Copies of this chain bind each other. A is one copy, B any other.
């Protein structure tokens, strides 16, 4: 059997003749990123052949490159002994650096109104001879008397410790009951002094970023918040790559484990910062797009991208954390926000809760969530029409060579000197620049365009003299930062800018299409709600300048921030919000923009800065 040694870790593995290097690496526990899902198209899995020879898998494309450097996904082990050097893996390095994520600002306090898990304190009377009541009977009666309505049963784990807990403090106990889906269940009964409170977790499971909020379920108060990369990144940057990867043997399990791992890591870190054990978290609401929802639960996502695009589920049955492998209290209620269609998921139904659109009495609003995918909803209390467009991960720092999420070290705003072309960068966390995030890209492209360093088609002004515009091969790049110590650069190429422009065009075109189908225009909108991780850093004028947002009165825009996380939080603390979310998921009309031939025209027209039709952007001053 061929033997492969991977450097620099120096791990060897025996493999079947003809096995792809990527599979051998996985078997050896060596991390190689496959952003395209192992389809041979992205070239990010390149490795150097140090010893021995490999053969190319002819069923996959070959990307030309440096001699001796091959794609791990498309290369087959054939030699008796091959030594392979794993080249630096940007995604793995970012994931490693991210650790348990970064703390985030806390949202406004939403008071509890029927939380998903509720804490009760009661005094259970002592047992009496021949009253025919078991410990469980007396406990249920005491809880019902003290306000826990419709509690159906005690979990087996609770029953196992019930006799001891009841007798520890003369029947003074605290109990936690969960409420989602049917009868409430009591999942914890403890002697009163052992219970400090009841805690819940709200989670936005994004394709690129996972964000979570720890909540005190007695008051509804947010305690701490944290976000980190989704650990699935190493298997593919966008949902299509992940769907591809899920089709490989064992791939779905790896993706599910990575999603669970990301949530569990953040949950542990949040619990630790609040001084509680993760088992004290008794409820969680997770909102993600339809593919993320499937991958988290280990449901095969393949049919989501195969005609007729049918997911296994849209509304999700009530689950326990234990069933889904979430490491909080194993019997905790786990609510997954309901999805609407293959590409409009629970993050959008959660986001709508945060926007308040379903309550808006009159007028039509636009809800726009710009993440790795772009999703939008047009409507109000009367109707809700929704669609998605595949924007790519440019707004979350993906698809950009030096892109990164909005974490310390990310350039989040750029001013460009009109004369010299020199940038002034604002960097998150006061650190040295490590990359550029989505809001930074918008700011950069708008700044270059306004200063005349970028034309309407996305080409840098090569003719003008600047040390920051450098030509490399056929493409030019804009140099944002160079570390004087080691020469490390943060630069954005025309290719990166092209990805960015395609992403903003896809979103603008989808909005135009939905409005047109309703016989409306952007000017008819009473509000535009902007969701997405970059929301809080976004400069409105910049977003209009690049043609991402429409050129309408600025006071109609409302930033929501991470609306998926905010909506998860609302659903966690309020039974009414959960019922509202289920109802609106059921009444939303889902459309597929790709099915309408007009979409391509709208898209092509939007591939300029700000747009082919300059009359749509009267307030934007065009560059040369």
Contacts and interface: CB of A to CB of B under 8 A. Distances in A.
A129 interface: yes
A554 B159 CA distance: 46
A567 to B, nearest CB: 21
Contacts of A313: 134-137, 159
A490 interface: no
Interface string A146-173: 0000001111100110111000000000
A206 to B, nearest CB: 22
Given A130-B590, A153-B318, A302-B163, A135 B323 contact: no
Interface stretch (A216-224, A293-301, A614-622): A293-301
B129 A307 contact: yes
A623 interface: no
A304 to B, nearest CB: 10
A590 B302 CA distance: 59
A330 B128 CA distance: 37
A489 interface: no
Contact of A156 (B129, B135, B163, B323): B323
Interface in A322-369: 323-324, 340-341
B162 A312 contact: yes
Given A134-B313, A159-B299, A314-B137, A153 B127 contact: no
B324 A129 contact: no
A308 B154 CA distance: 22
B163 A300 contact: yes
A319 interface: yes
A183 interface: yes
A317 interface: yes
Contacts of A127: 303, 308, 310
Instruction: Give the interface size class of chain A.
Output: 35 or more
A84 B159 CA distance: 40
A308 B134 contact: no
A610 interface: no
Nearest to A128: B308
A222 to B, nearest CB: 29
Nearest to A164: B300
A200 interface: no
A113 interface: no
Contacts of A152: 181-182, 317
From DSSP, what is the main secondary structure of chain A's interface residues?
Answer: loop
Nearest to A156: B323
A132 interface: yes
Contact of A590 (B132, B160, B315, B341): B132
A181 B160 contact: no
A383 interface: no
Nearest to A300: B163
A79 to B, nearest CB: 37
A310 B311 CA distance: 50
Contacts of A182: 152, 182-183
A334 to B, nearest CB: 10
Contact of A309 (B129, B312, B592): B129
A129 B311 CA distance: 11
A442 to B, nearest CB: 33
Nearest to A323: B156
A317 B153 contact: yes
A319 B153 CA distance: 10
Contacts of A300: 160, 163-164
Contacts of A297: 156, 159-160
Contacts of A591: 130
Given A135-B310, A592-B130, A160 B318 contact: no
Interface in A588-618: 590-592, 595
A274 to B, nearest CB: 29
Contacts of A162: 299, 312
Interface in A117-154: 127-130, 132-137, 152-154
A351 to B, nearest CB: 19
A135 B311 contact: yes
15 contacts: A128-B308, A129-B307, A130-B308, A130-B595, A132-B590, A134-B310, A134-B313, A135-B310, A152-B182, A154-B317, A156-B298, A156-B324, A159-B313, A159-B317, A160-B297
Closest 6 CB pairs of A and B: A153-B317, A127-B310, A129-B308, A136-B313, A134-B314, A134-B313
Given A137-B315, A153-B317, 10 more contacts: A134-B311, A135-B310, A135-B311, A136-B314, A154-B317, A156-B317, A159-B299, A162-B299, A163-B302, A163-B303
